[in-house]
């Protein structure tokens, strides 16, 4: 039976990423556990610690903490002891041991590891964003994107998003399908952050035909019908014009070259 009566509260002076990873790694060993996990990050004040402890007490929860600030950690330890709350300290024992070994006190500065590796974490976040916003997913989040790429099928939207994410940009993409209205969120975007991909019809036909060959589909379908391709491209042009979006012609461009043009338009690396 799943146990839903003991939620876990991850308490951290930073984003809570380290604690979350440890907790989720452990919970994975208990399939169907039904345990709720709540992240209480950016803890800077004793009053915040008191609030979390109070909520954990009320809900019969467990507190897992990664506080590097000794005063906040001691406050939490004292409160959990007084109120009989189970707590697991992921940082304190190791900090104390290393402090003894190295002969000096720790800085006690929350989020320092993430700050020192900001570029890496930004890149990981961007890659996760690209994967979860591929092919028109989650349009409600598009305003969080550095760039939204739109175009008909096989113009290179997904490879471009992946490439841009490796550079640290949050990129989403959405297909343009003739006869299917675009999500309304598209027209809420800043024009400079939406890139439309165009391509020569003959080039698109060749790309789609190769795609059909690879997956063993019939040689001629609507997907590779020249008339359908012409209509797809015409629909894309209508969308680009309606939104006033800038257009990148991918006919003879590599993904790298297309990405460079998009970066210049977006105005950041």
The fold of 8-116 is Rossmann fold (3.40.50)
Q: How much is the pLDDT for 5?
A: 66
- Give the architecture-level CATH label for domain 118-266: 3-Layer(aba) Sandwich (3.40)
Alpha-carbon span 73 to 81, nearest angstrom: 12
Q: Is 109 left (phi over 0), alpha (psi -120 to 50) or beta?
A: beta
pLDDT at 117 (0 to 100): 78
Residues of the chain with CATH 3.40.50: 8-116, 118-266
Q: What is the dihedral of CA 133, 251, 193, 242, to 10 degrees?
A: -100
pLDDT per residue of the chain (269 residues) written in tens, 0 to 9: 444 568 999 999 998 989 999 999 999 999 988 899 999 999 999 999 999 999 999 999 999 999 999 999 999 999 999 999 999 999 999 999 999 999 999 988 888 877 777 888 889 999 999 999 999 999 999 999 999 999 999 999 999 999 999 999 999 999 999 999 999 999 999 999 999 999 999 999 999 988 888 877 765 567 889 999 999 999 999 999 999 999 999 999 999 999 999 999 887 54
Say how many C-beta atoms besides its own lie within 10 A of residue 119's C-beta.
9
Q: Residue 147 in contact with residue 165, Cβ under 8 Å? A: no
Helix (H) and strand (E) counts in the chain: 10, 8
Alpha-carbon gap, residue 8 to 245, rounded angstroms: 46
Tokens linked to 76? 């939490």
What does the pLDDT read at residue 223? Answer: 86
Reading the block at residue 176, the tokens are 């343009």
* Region label for 136, one of left (φ > 0), alpha (ψ between -120 and 50) or beta (otherwise): left
Alpha-carbon span 178 to 197, nearest angstrom: 15
pLDDT of the residue at 215: 77
Distance between CA atoms of residues 26 and 19, nearest Å: 11
Determine contact, residues 181/202, Cβ cutoff 8 Å: no
């Amino acid at each position: 039976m799943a146990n839903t009566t003991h939620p876990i509260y991850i308490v951290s002076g930073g984003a809570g990423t380290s604690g979350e990873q440890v907790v989720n790694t452990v919970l994975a060993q208990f399939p169907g556990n039904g345990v709720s996990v709540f992240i209480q990050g950016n803890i800077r004040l004793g009053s915040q610690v008191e609030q979390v402890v109070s909520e954990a007490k009320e809900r019969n929860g467990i507190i897992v903490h990664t506080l590097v600030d000794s005063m906040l950690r001691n406050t939490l330890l004292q409160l959990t002891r007084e109120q009989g709350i189970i707590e697991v300290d992921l940082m304190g024992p190791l900090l104390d041991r290393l402090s003894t070994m190295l002969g000096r006190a720790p800085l006690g500065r929350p989020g320092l590891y993430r700050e020192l590796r900001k570029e890496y974490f930004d890149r990981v976040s961007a890659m996760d964003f690209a994967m979860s916003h591929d092919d028109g997913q989650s349009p409600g989040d598009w305003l969080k994107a550095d760039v939204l790429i739109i175009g008909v099928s096989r113009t290179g939207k997904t490879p471009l998003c992946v490439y841009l994410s490796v550079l640290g940009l949050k990129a989403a993409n959405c297909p343009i399908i003739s006869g299917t209205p675009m999500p309304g969120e598209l027209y809420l975007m800043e024009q400079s952050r939406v890139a439309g991909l165009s391509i020569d019809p003959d080039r698109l036909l060749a790309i789609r035909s190769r795609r059909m060959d690879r997956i063993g589909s019939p040689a001629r379908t609507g997907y590779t019908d020249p008339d359908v391709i012409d209509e797809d491209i015409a629909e894309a042009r209508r969308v680009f014009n309606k939104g006033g979006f800038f257009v990148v012609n991918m006919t003879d461009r590599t993904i790298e070259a297309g990405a460079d043009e998009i970066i210049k338009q977006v105005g950041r690396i």
